[in-house]
Structure 1
Amino acid sequence: MHACLMWRMTKRHIFRLASRIGLATLLVVIGAGTASAVGPAPGPVQAAALGARAFIYGNPLLELLRVRDTATSVPCPDDRGLAPVNAISSRPAFIAPDEKLVVAPNVDTLYSMAHLDLSDGPVVLSHPDMGDRYFNFQLMDSYTNVVGYVGSRTSGSDAGKFAITWSGAPGPEVPGVTTITVSDSRIWLLGRTLAGDEADRADAFALMSQYTVTPPAGPQTFTDCAPFVPVEPPKPEGTALLDAISAAMEQNPPPIRDAAELAELARIGVGPGLRVADAGLSPVAFRALDQAVRAAESSLPAVVSGSQYAGALRSQGWSSPPDTIGDYGTDYVTRAGVAEIGLGANTPQEAAYVTALLDRNGLPLNGANSYRLHFPPGGQPPADAFFSITVYDGDGFLPSVPGNRHSISDSRPGLVYQPDGSLDMVFSREDPGVPGANWLPLPDGSFRVYLRMYVPGSAVLDGSWSPPGIERWNR
């Protein structure tokens, strides 16, 4: 839409735009009619476009703070991944189907989590000798960017200690400890440790129980550890959400590279120390801004889903995230989409994810049918650590299926190859009873399949390898 034409819109048209416009359309408006950071207060259409940009920019920050505030509200570390600030919690079991904690939880690794405050000095992470067991600790800043790793791929499996240090409060170097310097004083530490059956999970958890995080004042002691259920406050909406973003940015300063975007958002009163009410917007522009933010938030899930399905139609049913996942730079749209469906995603170098939403003919996957995924000889997923294939229901949660058989991985015993070296995965409601089928049971209705490749090979990273399409199968 041309800028001159936008300004000729009537109030009725503006309100219709603000209340009905989807995120995708708003992003077109953003690209076509970018406002200058100087000049008069934005009019209704500019305010609506900037409001969508502000939501896209700031919502990942709010999502991470929601996780942080909930996780750190407990009085003591527990076995759910919740712990006070500068303490670590590890889960001894995989997430169960009745736990709707996160979308598409993996059932390959056990999670450890800690939320670090580095403002008083470095916090030291330590782990024991992990042997040949894959593990990683992912360090994320407040804006969901991955800023470092500790683990098998990056630092090795020998016992180690790492001083996670904020550049604004470096503190003295600690002998015998590797320093990791980050530019944010608040870090989300998300650990993953490979585990298999019940006995192997016990072995993995024995190692995880030796993970420690130690703040500058020394090890913490916890008492009064009664059971505690965190309660999440309701999320604000409209312009109140924008003010929440500004307040969050004041407590969690944005990266310097975002200065140009923040200069634009300041025109509607969004930024550290700002408020929408002080932006000098007219009542019409204020209302358009409020409605646009509400529309952007409500349409984000559908836009992300539509983007995934569009990618799947181009790639034999598989959808792949952009290469910027986990290290977004100024790709705010991808960052917002990932925060919506997979907060805490690894960078591609650590783990590559692809999702089958359709069969190879472009038809939706449905549990009423049976399917086969065939990897030709030498064509199995290239992963230096391991790969896994997991079935989820249509909403991305683990389904209730016989034996909680959700995943097959080359890290576990029982994966069967055909005599010619090919590999077949069969998805059906009932066990087909076919030797070498590598069967995963299906739920009723729609479902999706995740292929994860931990420490993916170069062929995955450069795009020269892609998975074959899933085909309908008649046994």
Structure 2
Amino acid sequence: MPHTPSAPLSPMHDLAREAIIRLWPVYELRRARASTSYPTLPGIGSAAEGKNWCNVFAHRRELIRPGVSKIVMPNNDTLYSVAWLDLASGPLVIDIPDMGDRYHVLGLMDSLTNPIAHLGSRLLPGGAKSVLVSGPGETAGTPPHWAGEHVRAPSRWVWIIGRILVTSPSDLPAVHKLQDGLQIRPFGDQQNAPAQFSPDCDLGAPLDARHFSTQVNAALQEMAGDQNLNAERLPSFATLGIGAGLTPSHEQIEQLEPVLQAVRQFLKTPCARRGTTHWEYLPRLGQSFGDDIHLRAHISQQYIGMVESKEAVYRMTWHDGKGQRLHGRQRYALQFAPGALPPVDAFWSLTIYESATGRLIDNPIDRYAIGDRTPGLSLDEHGGLRILISHRRPATREESNWLPAPQNDFYLCLRAYLPRADILNGLYELPPVQRLHTEEH
């Protein structure tokens, strides 16, 4: 679990630190909304100048490759479909086509980054379905003639991150068809109704107290009426110039600036615990962070968009089994014993990222992840699995199990989709990454 920052220097310093940590997810989500909504969409056209589209899905049509992701640690298993819902004008309906037995999930996140709903294989299996999403202003309950799923969002804005499994490059056309079947429409209407909004966030602006407070204050104005805010704490932040519609003075900015930079460094520290094999375990997430403001801020800073743990669990390592940093000049193996592959009800995959950027790196075989769906994966004579990890290309006979590494520092992420109890409870431990001698490879 995250550690709290060091002792405050003064009551005002303490208040500033609390305000910044409590509202850090609000800042991150505003940046995410600006970077993952679009002014132009196929089939929709261009929004007015300075506007982006909401209440409509934007689809990524190819698996994420190096150089194209706007987020850190993108997966290489699913196609993303993203939408921002503005519920200010009333409930919206999400139409989901029949996905068959293909793994999929639409993760819904409120304005404080709580993963409030998961629409997909785990909770809504079966054929085509429609889901009603209502905002905090809707008090009449579920309409009497609505028989489907109903998500009551505590916030006006809801971020949807959809993931649909792709089994191979030849599977892409089928997934595109499913993506096209995802629709958003007003309740009581059969027609899609994309809307426009002003993202009003300069993604290139430096993160200083002026920029942070401007973005947070604008977001708080939009969030008036949200049920997930701690309204008891917000009024006290006004003495710092933080609040809906406020503009901090020069003196207030000077107070906030050193605290902001200290919190920024604090949120870069790991929020995971390291196991005996040097894999790191993120805290188990549910559908709400409650009032754990430190964990909420850490996750929004480092892993924004995470679903609850019952949907997917991530294990990461920057180190080999002896605690040494992973680096492309070395060669490694990850050896799973027979019958000891990650226990999941969907699938698992191991993805490799450059440490400095958290991004995928080009490699000669165009492989960025390896897992239980990798074609040609070879088990040993006892039924175990040995994955080779190196920058240098291995012998031809070993290429089927090769995960190419960048030439510099890297880290690994094991994703377990629909994890079983042993993973959720921390009883299943991944094997250590073994550094190999040259003659072993």
Normalising by structure 1, what TM-score?
A: 0.80
1:413 counterpart = 2:402: no
Deviation of residue 287 (structure 1)?
Answer: 3.1
Aligned residue number for residue 27 of structure 1: 5
Alignment RMSD (CA, Å): 2.9
1:54-65 map, 5 Å: 54-65=19-30
The answer as to whether partners of 2:136 and 2:153 remain within 8 angstroms in 1 is yes
Change (3 A) 1:245 1:175: closer
Give the distance between the partners of 1:236 and 1:366, measured in 2 at CA: 30
Cα shift at 1:422: 1.4
Alignment of 1:293-312 (within 5 A): 293-297=260-264, 299-300=265-266, 302-304=268-270, 311-312=273-274
Secondary structure in 2 aligned to 1:335?
helix
CA distance in 2, matches of 1:423, 1:143: 41
Structure 1 CA distance for aligned equivalents of residues 294 and 27 of structure 2 = 15
The residue number in structure 2 matching 1:187 is: 158
Secondary structure of the equivalent of 1:388? strand
Secondary structure (helix, strand or coil) at the match of 1:363 reads coil
Q: Distance in 1 between matches of 2:379 and 2:181?
A: 37
Q: Output the CA distance in 2 between the equivalents of 1:25 and 1:165.
A: 36
Partner of 2:57: 88
Q: CA deviation at 1:51?
A: 1.8
**AA matched with 1:142:** S
| Identity percentage of aligned residues | 28
Corresponding residue of 2:290: 329
Instruction: Report if the CA contact (8 A) 1:431-1:441 is conserved.
Output: no
Match of 1:146 in 2: 115
Instruction: Give deviations 1:424-470, integer Å, cap 9, x for gaps.
Output: 11112212334596111111011111100001010011111121110
User: Secondary structure at 1:84's aligned position in 2?
Assistant: strand
Does residue 352 of the first structure (1) align with residue 313 of the second (2)? Answer: yes
1:276: Cα distance to partner?
4.2
- Find 2:331's aligned residue among 341, 365, 370: 370
The answer to whether the 8 A contact 2:349-2:369 is kept is: yes
Residue 455 (structure 1) aligns with: 418
- The offset of 1:371, in angstroms, is 0.5
Larger helix percent: 1
Q: Matched residues in 1 for 2:150 and 2:286: separation? A: 25
Aligned to 1:105: 74
The structure 1 residue matched to 2:169, chosen from 198, 206, 209, is: 198
Task: Determine the C-alpha separation between the residues in 2 that align with 1:116 and 1:50.
Answer: 32
8 A contact 1:86–1:215 mirrored in 2: no
Matched residues in 2 for 1:126 and 1:92: separation? 19
Q: Corresponding residue for 1:159? A: 128
Q: Does 1:268 align with 2:240?
A: yes
1:152-195 alpha-carbon deviations (Å, 9 max, x no partner): 00111311111111242257455443222222121111100000
Question: Which structure 1 residue ranges, 4+ long, deviate > 6 Å from structure 2?
Answer: none
Correspondence for 1:38: none
Q: 1:404 matched to which residue of 2?
A: 366
CA, structure 1 residues 118+202, in 2 after alignment: closer, same or farther (shift >3 Å)? same
Distance 1:300 1:178, change over 3 A: same
The corresponding residue for 1:39 is none
3-state secondary structure, aligned to 1:449:
strand
Distance 2:421 2:194 in 1: 45
Is 449-458 or 61-70 further displaced after alignment?
61-70
DSSP 3-state at the match of 2:41: coil
Unmatched 5+ stretches in structure 2: 196-200
Q: Where does residue 340 of structure 2 map in the other structure?
A: 379
**2:112–2:228 Cα contact (<8 Å) kept:** no
Alignment partners' CA distance in 2, 1:335 and 1:85: 25
1:289 maps to which of 220, 235, 256: 256
Partner of 1:8: none
Contact 1:426 1:437 in 2 (8 A): no
Distance 1:167 1:89 in 2: 25
Kept after mapping to 1: 8 A contact 2:186/2:193: no
Deviations 1:395-442 (A, max 9, x none): 211011112211112134323222322111111221233459611111
1-side partners of 2:73 and 2:43: how far apart? 22
The answer (yes or no) to whether the contact 1:350–1:456 under 8 Å persists in 2 is yes
Counterpart in the other structure of 1:361: 322
In the TM superposition, residue 256 of structure 1 has moved relative to its aligned partner by 4.9
- Shift of the 259–340 alpha-carbon distance from structure 1 to 2, 3 Å rule, reads same
Give the 3-state SS of the residue equivalent to 2:310 in structure 1.
coil
The structure having more radius of gyration, on CA atoms, is 1
Residue 401 of structure 1 aligns to a residue whose secondary structure is coil
Aligned residues: 420
Matching of residues 60-75 of structure 1 within 5 Å: 60-75=25-40
Question: Matched residues in 1 for 2:288 and 2:193: separation?
Answer: 35
* Aligned residue type for 2:299: V
Q: Describe the superposition over 1:316-345 as per-residue Cα deviations: whole angstroms up to 9, x where unpaired.
A: 221121123763111111222222222101
- Name the CA distance, whole Å, in 2 between partners of 1:236 and 1:391: 28
**Which range moves more in the overlay, 433-442 or 99-108?**
433-442
Question: What is the one-letter code of the residue matched to 1:147?
Answer: I
Answer whether contact 1:394 1:447 (CA < 8 A) is retained.
Answer: yes
Residues of 1 paired with 2:203 and 2:229: CA distance?
31
Q: 1:339 to 1:78 in 2, by over 3 A?
A: farther
Alignment of structure 1 residues 209-228 onto 2, 5 Å: 209-216=180-187, 218-220=190-192
Structure 1: 5+ residue stretches without partners: 1-23, 31-43, 224-229
- Distance, in Å, in 1 between the alignment partners of 2:77 and 2:268 is 28
Which is strand-richer, 1 or 2? 2
Q: Matched residues in 1 for 2:399 and 2:68: separation? A: 32
